Structure 1
Amino acid sequence: MRKKPTTRPPNMVPPYCRILRGTGPASIRQHVGYLVYIWTVDGDGFWMYPTEVRGGILFGYIWKSAHYEYAQLRVSLVDCLY
């Protein structure tokens, strides 16, 4: 498992981009180790630092208003990422 980030994410929310929709495990793996903004299929959005994609699950650190929290997210719930 990679260490959690030491810097805060940007204060802005990037624009939703339809081009980046339909993200699957192979696409998400390209972003492991980089801070990304994720939109879920139910419309939620948050900053995440992915550390691993395994068995259809995305592992990493999600920014929760003042700190990072380790979390798991089913890849099928990811609508798109930036």
Structure 2
Amino acid sequence: MSVTVTEKTTAPAFEDSLTELEAIVSEMESGDLPLNVALEKFERGIKLSRLSQQALEQAEQKVKILLNEQDENKLRDFNSTAEE
């Protein structure tokens, strides 16, 4: 019987990324980490920073799209072409 383990490939939630990034910064600021661990933490921090930046850019794009849609759907005066 074989068991297949699938790795989670989805990005962590924005808030989770920030929380983890803050923890990494605190650990690194303590200065108590061995060099190899500090480098691993730094690499993870860079990855989280990039993921967070992408999430912010996507959110900004969604807001722009929604605002443009809202502008297009504003009520306008009805100009009747029918003769009265």
Query: What TM-score bracket applies, with the shorter chain setting the length?
Result: under 0.3
Larger Rg: 2
Higher strand share: 1
TM-score, scaled relative to structure 1 = 0.23
